Structure 1
Amino acid sequence: MIKKLCADHPRAWDRFIPAALFAFREIPNDSLKFSPFELLYGRQVRGPLTILHELWTNDSTDSEVKTTYQYVLDLRSRLEETARLAAEQAEISSRNYKAYYDLKAKPRKLNSGDDVLVLLPSSSNKLVMQWLGPYSVVECKGNGVDCY
């Protein structure tokens, strides 16, 4: 979002950050299916378009007056339900991402004495990675992943 703001308004991009943050917090997350605002406050945000819609359609939330105690109880139940649904969606998304990631993965079995290359940061720049080796495998743990 900031990259787009910088491209569209190179001299005044910083003036648009609050609006961009509001839009980011209002939009439901792809993996959780809830907006950050809704997860935090237990309700949907009332943005300018929502308020305008209520004014045009004469929808008013003042017709339903609640006590403070009832509001807190309702808020608690909404937050618990939202957290439960978000956790379920996160689990589903996690499984989907793993399945997509594993499409091109190949199982590899290393044995003691095998020669391997290791991807490590370079000595001159920690952000630049380079393959080093070959090194000999000394020991593999029982999980088949950790080899030294």
Structure 2
Amino acid sequence: MRAWVRRWVQSCRDCGTRKARAKEVIPPLRSQGVGDAGDRWALDVASPLPVTDKGNRYVVAAVDYATRYAVVVAVPSHRAPDIANFIVEKLVMVYGPMRELVMDGAPELNGAVVEALVNALQAKQLTPVPYRPALLGLVERFHRTWKDMVAMFVSEAQSDWDRWLPCAAYAYNGARHSGTGYSPNELMMGRRLRTPNELLRTSGVTQVGVFADYHRALVKKMAVATEAAKKALSKDQARRARYYDRQVRRHSEFQVGDKVWVLRPPRGKGITKLAHKWVGPARIEADAGFDNWEGHGREGDRPLQLPREVQLLQQLARSDSRAGAERPDRGRHSGRGRGHERGGTRRARLGEHGPSQGT
């Protein structure tokens, strides 16, 4: 009788959709391959900014994973056609087609125009998990860098920040990167960027030698620099992993076939703090790797997958397969449960993939 009462209480749908609690899982930091120069770009939009005298309000930036080279431009709007023009004019026409393009889930970055362009380039578009800016840490960190630079020179009205944006990008690409040991321009273009001080110290233009000799020396220099940068980056990744792994807690306890509750807080007008936040139960169908899982929901057997089958990074709480189906349903948007099964006393949170070391 006691076991029956316990199972009956644990199968309460309202309790499951409201009282489910997740245990945070922080797995170890994983390394991410960067490829060659121009293979993978991270793209993001910084907004909103003060409207400049030229009408610009947004900044579109892209950073190459292998060289850390940054391309940035100020734009008045960030619609899908604007993003597509940036990809073609500033990236493809200058550095060649990329193999992978990493962007977040913003509508202007995942619209039909951008998707058609990426498919035409035969590239792969990667979309990290929403609300996980660390997965785009490479370009997010660049945004912070150029903002700190521009803030030192912008006028009091802040209406000329787009004037200083190219200067900040030039300084960034010409500075030595702590991860690779080389400047981004040196790895991308094969030479260091000069500064006004260097021009003052030189006496004049050096005589141009044989172009064939210059080409051989340039190719050799870039090969040596690329190999040294990869080794330095590996050491930097190991150092960052040791620092990050100090907060590792435990791995996910989920297994294929488990029933889970999915944290999907309701949004919209009329939603109160008494609304039930969990939906389901969903059944785990496959291991997506990196302590993440793929599953199917209860409603219409809809797959629980993020855009472009990126790893499922949602908060889940375990649900027992013995959950009772005879419990009454309640409206979720009125502050009550939505009528989903609940069972089992074990609760956990789906392991979240830590920041990628490609950043």
CA distance in 1, matches of 2:216, 2:267: 58
CA distance in 2, matches of 1:144, 1:71: 46
Q: TM-score, normalised by structure 1?
A: 0.70
Query: Which residue does 1:132 correspond to in 2?
Result: 278
Amino acid at match of 1:28: R
Amino acid at match of 1:86: A
Corresponding position: 1:79 with 2:227: no
CA-to-partner distance for each residue in 1:30-85, whole Å, 9 max, x for gaps? 21111111011222112211111224xxxx6726x531111000000001001101
**Structure 1 residues 104 and 117, CA gap change in structure 2 (3 angstroms):** farther
Query: Which residue does 2:206 correspond to in 1?
Result: 62
Query: Which residue does 2:246 correspond to in 1?
Result: 103
CA-to-partner distance for each residue in 1:93-116, whole Å, 9 max, x for gaps? 111111111111012351559886
Which structure: greater helix fraction?
Answer: 1
CA distance in 2, matches of 1:12, 1:49: 25
Identity %: 21
Query: Which residue does 2:184 correspond to in 1?
Result: 36
Corresponding position: 1:49 with 2:192: no
**Structure 1 residues 78 and 114, CA gap change in structure 2 (3 angstroms):** same
Query: Which residue does 2:150 correspond to in 1?
Result: 5
CA distance in 1, matches of 2:166, 2:281: 52
| Residue pair 1:111, 1:140 contacting (<8 A) in 2 also | no
| Residue pair 2:263, 2:278 contacting (<8 A) in 1 also | yes
Which runs of structure 1 show a deviation greater than 4 angstroms over 4 or more consecutive aligned residues? 111-124, 133-141
Q: Secondary structure at the match of 2:278?
A: strand
Q: Indicate the RMSD between aligned Cα atoms, in angstroms.
A: 3.4
CA distance in 1, matches of 2:227, 2:264: 40
Q: TM-score, normalised by structure 2?
A: 0.32
| Residue pair 2:149, 2:168 contacting (<8 A) in 1 also | no
CA distance in 1, matches of 2:180, 2:265: 34
Query: How many positions carry a matched residue from both structures?
Result: 137
Consecutive unaligned residues of structure 2, counting only runs of 5 or more, are 1-145, 269-276, 296-359
| Structure 1 position 2, deviation (Å) | 2.9
Q: Secondary structure at the match of 2:202?
A: helix
Of 109-118 and 66-75, more deviation after overlay is shown by: 109-118
**Structure 1 residues 100 and 28, CA gap change in structure 2 (3 angstroms):** same
**Structure 1 residues 121 and 39, CA gap change in structure 2 (3 angstroms):** farther
